[in-house]
Amino acid sequence: MHRTVTELADGRELIYYDSAPGRDREAKDERPLDRVESLPELRRDPATGDWVTIAAHRQTRTYHPPADDCPLCPSRAGRPTEIPAADYEVAVFENRFPSLSGAAGRCEVVCFTPEHGAGFADLGPERARLVLDAWTDRTAELSARPGVRQVYVFENRGSEIGVTQPHPHGQIYAFSTVTPRTAKHLAAAAGHRAATGRNLFEDLLAEARAATARVVLAGEHWTAFVPYAARWPYEVHLYPHRRVPDLTALDEAERAEFPGLYLELVRRFDRLFGLADPTPYISAWHQAPVTGGEELALHLELFTVRRTADKLKYLAGTESGMDAFMNDVAPEAAAQRLREVR
């Protein structure tokens, strides 16, 4: 992996990741951009203890731009974008309309292909590996920043998810707090350790691998399975067999196997409903906090809001109001369907 660090016209950082050195990354951002005043405010809900970010400036962010005015495509004559180069492999830059900035954290955009109509499933293994290397590099750098408590790498895909930029991309959030879901993981892991003397996530993986009815794909170093109490109709968790806290701790064998296994998984999601349009999904890396997360295990959670070819899983009153999920598809049936997809 070769990285080139530069700046956009308003001072935001842009990093090109290339499979080899020698690519021309000298193009300058000539847009007359003013610095965006982003002053997100963190407020703690006294009733739950959860932190909520107030980011009112995001109301003016770019919303569903036409394809010929996409800000994530490479720049071309008369059409400057967030990426000044005429082509790229993987590019990461600070979000112009961040939910988190300054003391509250940082938000980055990860563009993993210049092809506007492509998706992660269309990448080859080499490009997917480069994306993994970029995720790892950003996790290492952001985790070392003062005040950062947790780094969250994710991809939202599909208008059904709420994506406002159709160009294939992911995001990275560096939080100054531990997220509520991670806090639940920490509490559950501590309780499991106290009750059994064992690690919760190692036991979850071992249980899933033994209960083969919920396994979707398995390699030498990774296993993808539907969790026992899946919240979403089609939800798959992907774990390395060796417990590590975050992406930086993966070894070369684990890194080498990941692209092929993950690409097969997202391609099965795309074929799941037999539709011409790609399946909307959220793909979320769960990483341990920078400190205090020794019991947690790196893993990826992939799920779709689609439950059938013509029905979406909306968060109804129980889910949105009480965080009590009701799943219409048995986890074992979901795993079988995903195994059968060709």
What pLDDT score was predicted for residue 38? 78
Angle CA(325)–CA(329)–CA(333) in degrees, nearest 5? Answer: 140
Just give the CATH number of 181-340: 3.30.428.10
Which residue shows structure tokens 């059938």?
A: 308
pLDDT at 68: 86
User: CA 310, 116, 134 angle in degrees (round to 5)?
Assistant: 105
pLDDT score recorded for residue 158: 93
- Identify the CA nearest to 96 among candidates 3, 6, 13, 166: 13
Q: Sort 268 into a burial class: Cβ within 10 Å, 0-12 / 13-18 / 19+.
A: buried
Beta strands 13-18 and 41-44, pairing class: unpaired
| Alpha-carbon span 84 to 309, nearest angstrom | 39
User: Class of 2-177 per CATH?
Assistant: alpha beta
Q: Please, which residues bridge with residue 65 across strands?
A: none
First to last CA, the chain: 33
Q: Clarify whether 169 is annotated catalytic.
A: yes
The C-alpha atoms of residue 115 and residue 78 are separated, in whole angstroms, by: 19
Domain with CATH 3.30.428.10 in the chain: 2-177, 181-340
Which DSSP string corresponds to 4-30?
EEEE-TTS-EEEEEESSS---------
Secondary structure of 112-181 in the HEC alphabet?
CCCCCCCCHHHCCHHHHHHHHHHHHHHHHHHHCCCCCCEEEEEEEECHHHCCCCCCCEEEEEEECCCCHH
Of residues 57, 116, 167, 169, which has the active-site annotation?
169
| Token pair in block for residue 174 | 């560096």
The predicted structure's pLDDT at residue 66: 86
Per-residue pLDDT of the chain (342 residues; tens, 9 = 90+): 999 999 999 999 999 999 999 999 999 999 999 887 778 899 999 999 999 999 877 776 776 788 888 999 999 999 999 999 999 999 999 999 899 998 889 999 999 999 999 999 999 999 999 999 999 999 999 999 999 999 999 999 999 998 988 999 999 999 999 999 999 999 999 999 999 999 999 999 999 999 899 999 999 999 999 999 999 999 999 999 999 999 999 999 999 999 999 999 999 999 999 999 999 999 999 999 999 999 999 999 999 999 999 999 998 999 999 999 999 999 999 999 999 998
Helix 125-143 with 252-271: angle, nearest 10 deg = 120
